[in-house]
Amino acid sequence: MKTSKRDLHAPPFRLDSPWRLVTDSPQALAQGATLHEMRFTSQDAGDVDVSVISFDSRSNTLRVLNQPNPNAGSSAMRGLMNRAGAIAGVNGGYFHPDFSPLGHLIAQEEKIGSLTRTSLVSGMVLVTDQSPSLIWNREYHGDAGVSDLIQCGPRLVDGGEPVSGLNNNKLSARTFVATDGSNHWLIGVARYTTLQGLSEILATPGLILGLRIDRALNLDGGRSTALYARRSDNTELNDPGWSTVRNYLAVVPRH
């Protein structure tokens, strides 16, 4: 992979952050979106590889893709993404042993599941008038005008600061969605880190693409972790993970 000059051990703006960027290998996707294969390091936690899809919500939006078949297998991801015309996507929210969604879910105006208010399922990404928003449970005021919604958690970044009290012992693959509070959005996966580690990486100003991330929410991870991206030359990155997943979060062009 080619490493851009600006990324070699570039210091973040927050000097007390333990995390430093080692490499960033960008790949152009459709509609101005970009896939960044990044590596971060800290003295205590070592290296973490993070695949980040960056997009502008003025050109693209988010869509929830429902996958109700418990026997579909992880290979279902590519077909779902292709049928949706997706530029990129990741696995979505949690689900119960009976394969029903854990938390509220709206997939292209189809309502599934029920609202959950817990410390784990503490936020949601939703879309109204093709514009995505990342909100916390207390800010939710109903489904009016909402076309797509995934409720999940825990919260990782709030107001540009790492959320306190997150687990710093369990290493796992992680999936996340994040925004700078304006038009810049990220979806991605990290392999492997703790919730606290991912929170610190995302909350370090300037560490990822020069952005100050305002909010970030954890999605289902572990064996459910999956990533898809369609490059500008129409070749695909398809890393569907190991498990059958109940739903996905896709980046699609606005129309």
pLDDT band for 108, please (50, 70, 90 cuts). Answer: very high
Question: Looking at residue 17, what is its pLDDT?
Answer: 84
User: Average pLDDT for residues 37-59, to the nearest whole number?
Assistant: 96
Question: Looking at residue 1, what is its pLDDT?
Answer: 34
Range of the domain at 150: 5-14+21-135+142-253
Distance between CA 220 and CA 93 in Å, rounded?
A: 5
Question: Looking at residue 29, what is its pLDDT?
Answer: 97
Question: Looking at residue 16, what is its pLDDT?
Answer: 72
Question: Looking at residue 6, what is its pLDDT?
Answer: 36
Only one residue has tokens 């990220």, namely 186
DSSP bridge pairs for 126: 133, 149
| Total domains present in the chain | 1
CB atoms within 10 A of CB 108: 12
> What is the per-residue pLDDT across 169-188, written as a single tens digit (0 to 9) for each?
999 999 999 999 999 999 99
Helix, coil or strand: residue 47: strand
Question: Looking at residue 113, what is its pLDDT?
Answer: 86
**Contact indicator for 110, 143 with CB cutoff of 8 Å:** no
> What is the per-residue pLDDT across 113-161, written as a single tens digit (0 to 9) for each?
899 998 899 999 999 999 999 999 999 999 999 999 999 999 999 999 9
State the average pLDDT for the chain: 92
Only one residue has tokens 């972790």, namely 225
Among 94, 109, 192, CA closest to 151: 94
> What is the per-residue pLDDT across 187-207, written as a single tens digit (0 to 9) for each?
999 999 999 999 999 999 999
Only one residue has tokens 């190991």, namely 242
Q: Is the pLDDT of residue 94 over 70?
A: yes
Question: Looking at residue 8, what is its pLDDT?
Answer: 34
| Percent of the chain residues past pLDDT 90, beyond the cut | 86
pLDDT band for 11, please (50, 70, 90 cuts). Answer: very low
